[in-house]
Structure 1
Amino acid sequence: MRKPYLDTPIAQHVWETRYRLVVDGVVRDQNIEDTWRRVAKTLVSVEERDTPDWEERFYRILEDFRFLPGGRILAGAGSGRRVTLLNCFVMGVIDDCMESIFDRLKEGALTMQAGGGTGYDFSNLRPKNSVAHTSGRIASGPVSFMRIWDAMCATVMSTGARRGAMIASLRCDHPDIEDFIDAKRTPGELLHFNLSVQVTDAFMKAVNQDELWPLVFPVDSLEGEAESETVMRHWTGQREAVACRVIRQIPARTLWARIMLAAYETAEPGVLFVDRINALNNLAYREQITTTNPCGEIPLPPYGACDLGSVNLTRFVLEPFTSRAHLDLDAIRETVKVAVRLLDNAIDCSPFPLEAQAEQARGSRRIGLGITGLADALIMLGLHYGKAGARHKAEQIMQTVCHSAYLASIELAGEKGSFPFFDRDRYLQGKFIQTLPEAIRRGISEQGIRNSHLTAIAPSGTISLLAGNVSSGIEPVFDFRHRRRVLNQSGDYETFEVTDYAFRHRGASMNQELPASFVDARSLPPVDHLRMQAALQPFVDNAISKTINVPEDYDFEDFLSLYETAYQAGVKGCTTYRPTPLRGGILLSGKQQDKEEGALGAHCCSIEREED
């Protein structure tokens, strides 16, 4: 008798609306096993030897959701459609001229049409009310141009079970940074964008020392007096520092408080600690990174792309809910080894909307292998998410994933060759690479490495629903029973009663007292969310998508210190979510009345806004 892998109504719905292959009304995937087989058969097609063996190994890690490839792989592999298998992209540099602006808009539309989420840095656009050298025209500013992208996204992704995912970032020293910070205070504004501020080490130092902060823009792009005060800055798209005019100065703490207040009241913008991102980038010798994919787990250079996948930890807990519960780390290592090869093959199997994206992806061969179901796995092991023991176990898991992935990529390089952008000496000097065990660094030196980057932790919300509603990414369980609204193929919402995977498999009842390990997101202090993110960051060479849940009555001064703690803790970015009467919550708990999304739109990491 066939095992009922899709054992919840919402899992069946997600598969049917997002991942089941139907061509011209003909159902090609009769069941989820057909989907797994289609993916395995497609991704093994680039292998030159042992093809039947690798196809079976690919299938076995997909079976029962042990490994969850990114949604674009599940939906697109073997479909015969011109769609990307890579979830996320950062688009090309937007130069301050109409040709560049509308070229980048077109490229974004083509990428989104092919299934990719997109990230943009709007810092090169002149501040509003400034005058251009060449045309003498008055600029309207970055936020006004972002509205054009927002309208494009609404049009291109107006139907079906997915919505467009975009992120916009802006430098913390751009003269229009205040307009950017407050952009989402207007109901209905930029609904299809997530927003993040590029926060530099210099700015954080200025905040700490209560200094004035100059807002600047490159001199070559502005008219005005030559004797105006200038400073040198490493500007977006420039490898060398350029002269920038100081437009005005404001107290750094005032600007920081404005970012914090907007995040406190509207959940946006998030912050990207951009200097740390670049310092820890394995390809720092050839890239400048200023933004990320829409959910923040993949910092990327212009035209960079990444394919994602997650090890589902709930399938590796042995003897769950007992005193003998433990993780099968050997099985995780073996799954990671096969998953690295599967994701590497996806780069060769995937069409690309733009040739520049193909060149970047094939040059770096970036992958983003992470974990999902962490909170449920901890519950099954009897560990409380907010305690040190849980963080220690999570560190052990992510270290296992990271080191196993690097070893697999070294072995793969010995068979297939290193990624084309590989520069042995400079790569080995990278700050992240220097943290790896000596045996791994020696392996890279002797054999090379197939993929420039290997680990990332994505939100994985949609594919985690598909896998039986395991907790998503490294997030705590939202609630053990709640309602969740998801889109159907006609673009309308359907509401499902959803039960957490660990709660369901323990056979628990809401009326019985649960062990202390059954903790939900709202029961945890925000700092416990942050501590988990910080604990795993040392083993993630890309980044981590993590939303820190903040209670509505959380004190603003404590909120301020949370972001400062995040910076000191070494994470690459910080995103929070505090429900308000205007915004509502991300999901609908069993205690809430069913409600529509707030006028400010879906939260950045809701499944309607993921690249899944």
Structure 2
Amino acid sequence: MVPTTRFTSLTAVEVWDSRFRWRDGGKLHDTTVDLTWRRVAEALASVEGPMAPLWMQRFISVFSRWELLPDERLLALAGTGQPIGTLPGLAAVLNLAAFIRPQPVGAASLDCQRLVATAGLAVRLLDNALLRYGACADQSLRIGFIGMADALHRLGTPFGTERARQFAVAAASLLAEGCFRVNVDLAQERGQLMGRESLDQRPAFPRNGVMPGSVVLEAMRNGVRHSRITALAHHPELARFANDVTDAIEPLAIDVQRGCDALGNDIHVARARLGIAIQPYFDAQINDAVLGLGSATPLQASDRNGCAPR
């Protein structure tokens, strides 16, 4: 069965049409977004040899469910025959909102197993891109996420609560685990781009004891493919393309407008605290702009638009 992508946002259609839809002069190649996915997936799976069709279908599957979005440069140029050049700071994002599954009985929940698997697929996807289009001096990967606030909304969890921070930590931990596992596997399959000493540079793994021991031992024996694989950064175009979800750890627009969540928790404070809580699971430092510290100074909740924490 061929996956069919569902748009639920006019903004998403506009971003696709203006930024990622392949046109060649007067000829329109990507007549549907599913053809965009196929173009990118086929190009990036081409390095897999006889297994290329299998990996192409796996990539298409996660693309079509809005679970994984590759680097903007890959979406625009992969498979078009146009020059793409080297790819420093190669990125991908997982859309956390797409991993919230409704349950027949009870509340919705995070699909942890699928999140781990998709994070690993992101590492392979980007490693394939480096193999296909040529390595550059910066061979680190920058895998992060979008749709945090949307995921919390689907779970019925206000943005500024302790439950929200616990969810964010769980999601970041699962993303890091999936990325790390495949980073180790690729070192065995394709060789190391960095040696065993690179493990000492990792902020979370394996020192904090949150990674399964067998994976840590394998990494210590064989090294890892990439020294750095995770980063939380702004990807506004990808967020808008993914049916207009929130970018990185940005709050929902309605919370931004009133300055607090439904329980009166200050949004600026909540965003910064959330980012600080998940920092240990990312290789790159989360910058102030992502934390929301560059645009506004956190205020007392009672001073912001009449919000009072409850």
Partner SS, residue 368 of structure 1: strand
Q: Distance in 2 between matches of 1:28 and 1:536?
A: 41
CA–CA separation in structure 1 for the residues paired with 2:201 and 2:291: 29
Q: Which residue of 1 aligns with 2:281?
A: 539
Kindly indicate whether residue 123 of structure 2 is the aligned counterpart of residue 329 of structure 1: no
Structure-2 residue corresponding to 1:435: 208
Query: How far apart are residue 321 of structure 1 and its match?
Result: 12
Matches within 5 A, 1:410-489: 410-419=184-193, 422-424=194-196, 426-430=197-201, 432=203, 433=205, 434-435=207-208, 437=211, 438-479=213-254
SS at match of 1:17: helix
User: Which digits, 9 at most, give the CA deviation of each residue in 1:496-524, with x for residues without a partner?
Assistant: xxxxxxxxxxxxxxxxxxxx97589xx62
Shift of 1:58: 1.2
Cα distance, 1:440 vs structure 2: 3.4
In the TM superposition, what is the alpha-carbon distance from 1:22 to its structure 2 partner?
0.2
SS at match of 2:254: coil
1:404 counterpart letter in structure 2: G
Equivalences for residues 236-247 of structure 1 within 5 A: none
- Aligned-pair distance for 1:397? 0.8
Q: Name the Cα RMSD after superposition.
A: 2.7
Q: Does 1:360 align with 2:133?
A: no
* Offset of residue 473 of structure 1: 1.1
C-alpha contact (below 8 Å) 2:202/2:228 kept by paired residues = no
Amino acid corresponding to residue 479 of structure 1 in structure 2: I
Instruction: Tell me the SS of whatever aligns to 2:7.
Output: coil
Do the aligned partners of residues 548 and 519 (structure 1) sit closer, same or farther apart at CA in structure 2, a change above 3 Å counting? farther
User: Out of 375, 389, 400, which is 2:163 matched to?
Assistant: 389
Which residue of the partner structure matches residue 96 of structure 2?
313
Secondary structure of 1:360's partner?
coil
Aligned to 2:272: 530
Counterpart of 1:577 in structure 2 is 295
Q: Work out whether residues 159 and 267 of structure 2, in 8 Å CA contact, stay in contact via their aligned partners in 1.
A: no
Deviation at 1:479, TM superposition (A): 3.0
Matched position secondary structure for 1:536: helix
Q: What is the Cα deviation at residue 578 of structure 1?
A: 3.2
* 1:199-223 C-alpha deviation (Å, 9 max, x unpaired): xxxxxxxxxxxxxxxxxxxxxxxxx
Structure 2 gap ranges (5+) = 298-310
- The equivalent of 2:73 in structure 1 is 72
Give the Cα separation in 2 of the matches to 1:4 and 1:373: 18
Name the counterpart of 1:407: 181
User: Structure 2 matches for 1:149-164, cutoff 5 A?
Assistant: none
Pairing 1:226-241 to 2, within 5 Å after superposition? none
Offset at residue 47 of structure 1 (A): 1.5
Structure 1 residues 431 and 37: CA distance shift in structure 2, 3 A: closer
Q: Deviations over 1:174-231 (max 9, x none)?
A: xxxxxxxxxxxxxxxxxxxxxxxxxxxxxxxxxxxxxxxxxxxxxxxxxxxxxxxxxx
- Please tell me whether the aligned partners of residues 72 and 85 of structure 1 are also in contact (alpha carbons under 8 angstroms): no
Which residue in 1 is equivalent to 2:304?
none
Counterpart CA distance in 1 for 2:276 and 2:53 is 41
What is residue 155 of structure 1 aligned with on the other side?
A: none
User: Larger strand proportion, structure 1 or 2?
Assistant: 1
Taking structure 1 as reference, are residues 311 and 4 closer, same or farther at Cα in structure 2, changes over 3 Å only? Answer: closer
Max Rg structure: 1
- What does residue 340 of structure 1 align with? 123
The answer (yes or no) to whether the contact 2:68–2:93 under 8 Å persists in 1 is yes
When residues 471 and 481 of structure 1 are mapped into structure 2, their CA distance, relative to the original with a 3 A threshold, is same
2:202 and 2:283 in contact (8 A); partners too:
no
Q: Deviations over 1:452-498 (max 9, x none)?
A: 1111112121111111111111111133799xxxxxxxxxxxxxxxx
Give 3-state SS (helix, strand or coil) of 2:142's partner: strand
Counterpart secondary structure, 2:294: strand
Structure 1 residue aligned with 2:305: none
The aligned counterpart of 1:83 is 84
CA contact (8 A) 1:12 1:466 kept: yes
Residues of 1 paired with 2:16 and 2:161: CA distance? 35
User: Aligned partners of 1:321 and 1:462: how far apart in 2?
Assistant: 34
Amino acid at match of 2:81: G
Post-superposition shift, 1:359?
4.0
Amino acid at match of 1:69: P
Query: Deviation at 1:431?
Result: 5.4
Alignment of 1:30-429 (within 5 A): 30-84=31-85, 86=87, 305-319=88-102, 323-350=106-133, 358-361=135-138, 365-419=139-193, 422-424=194-196, 426-429=197-200
Matched residue type, 1:371: F
- Name the CA distance, whole Å, in 2 between partners of 1:45 and 1:340: 16
The TM-score with structure 2 as length reference comes to: 0.84
Contact kept, 8 Å, 1:320 with 1:380, in 2: the verdict is no
Which position in structure 1 is the counterpart of 2:11?
A: 10
Structure 1 residue 428: Cα displacement: 3.4
Partner of 2:303: none
What secondary structure, in the 3-state scheme, does the structure 1 residue paired with 2:74 have? helix
Matching residue's letter, 1:334: A
Q: Would you say the 8 A contact 2:195–2:224 is kept in 1?
A: no
d(CA) in 1 for partners of 2:73, 2:243: 19
Pair 1:321–1:578, CA change in 2 (3 A): farther
Conserved in 1, the CA contact under 8 Å of 2:39 and 2:78? yes
Q: SS in structure 2 opposite 1:407?
A: helix
What is the identity, as a one-letter code, of the residue corresponding to 1:478?
A: A
* Aligned residue identity for 1:332: L
Q: 1:77-117 CA distances to partner (integer Å, 9 max, x unpaired)? A: 1121112473xxxxxxxxxxxxxxxxxxxxxxxxxxxxxxx
Change (3 A) 1:389 1:330: same
> Is 2:47–2:132's contact at 8 Å kept on the other side of the alignment?
yes
Query: Is the contact made by 2:99 and 2:111 (CA closer than 8 Å) also made in structure 1?
Result: yes
C-alpha change, 1:35 and 1:85, in structure 2 (3 Å) is farther
What is the rounded CA distance, in whole Å, between the counterparts of 1:415 and 1:52 in structure 2? Answer: 19
1:340-394 residue CA offsets vs partner (Å, 9 max, x unmatched): 100111112236xxxxxx4413xxx311111110111011112111111110111
Aligned residues: 289
1:5, distance to aligned residue in structure 2 (A):
2.1
5+ residue gaps, structure 1? 87-304, 352-357, 483-515, 550-574, 580-612
Q: 2:5–2:33: 8 Å Cα contact kept in structure 1?
A: no
Residues 42-64 of structure 1 show CA distances to partners (whole Å, capped at 9, x for unaligned) of 00111134111111111111112
